[in-house]
């Protein structure tokens, strides 16, 4: 009735941008994950998951050169951006109603370090000027599903 799984992944990246100003970033990290599942009788299934993930800044997000997505907005990268790390903890309760029909409830929380966000600096001459910045925070959410 109890099932446990654990793992770890190692990632390495090396980014070199040669456009105007040279930007070089190297990142490495271990990304663990742990999952536990417990079945209570035939109708209840409980699961607890933890995982760490990484989102690396793109070339546009790192490049200090301005670029336009459209005539009304102009974005500029930030050479000081670091990878964004997300630690997610998730609990799921699944209740089997009958046959293939079930209901599940899934609250989760994300803790974000060095999140990347495009922030508006100023708007003049009907052009928005934006720059990528680091943000910290967390997000609490939930999801309910009903399947037939």
* 42-88 pLDDT tens trace: 999 999 999 999 988 888 888 777 778 788 888 888 888 888 999 99
The answer to whether 90 and 106 have CB atoms below 8 angstroms apart is: yes
User: Rounded to an integer, what distance in angstroms lies between the CA atom of residue 134 and that of residue 148?
Assistant: 42
pLDDT at 148 over 60: no
More confident residue, 85 or 134: 85
Residue 20: pLDDT band with limits 50, 70, 90: low
* pLDDT value of position 88: 92
Bridge partners, 30 (sequence order) = 10
Cβ neighbours around 24 below 10 Å, total:
11
Q: HSE, CB side, 13 Å, CA atoms: give it for residue 8.
A: 4
Give this prediction's pTM.
0.75
Spacing of C-alpha 47 from chain mean position: 21
């Amino acid at each position: 009735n109890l099932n446990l799984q654990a793992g770890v992944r190692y990632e390495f990246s090396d980014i070199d941008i040669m456009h105007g100003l040279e930007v070089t970033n190297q990142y490495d990290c271990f990304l663990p994950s742990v999952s536990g599942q417990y079945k209570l009788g035939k109708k209840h299934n409980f699961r607890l998951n933890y995982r760490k993930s990484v989102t690396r800044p793109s070339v546009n997000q790192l490049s200090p050169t301005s670029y336009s997505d459209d005539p009304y907005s102009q974005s500029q990268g930030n050479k000081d951006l670091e990878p964004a790390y997300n630690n997610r903890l998730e609990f799921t309760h699944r209740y089997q109603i009958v046959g293939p029909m079930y209901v599940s409830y899934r609250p989760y929380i994300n803790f974000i370090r060095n999140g990347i966000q495009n922030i508006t600096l100023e708007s003049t001459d009907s052009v928005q000027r934006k720059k990528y910045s680091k943000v910290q925070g967390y997000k609490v959410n939930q999801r309910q599903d009903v399947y037939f």
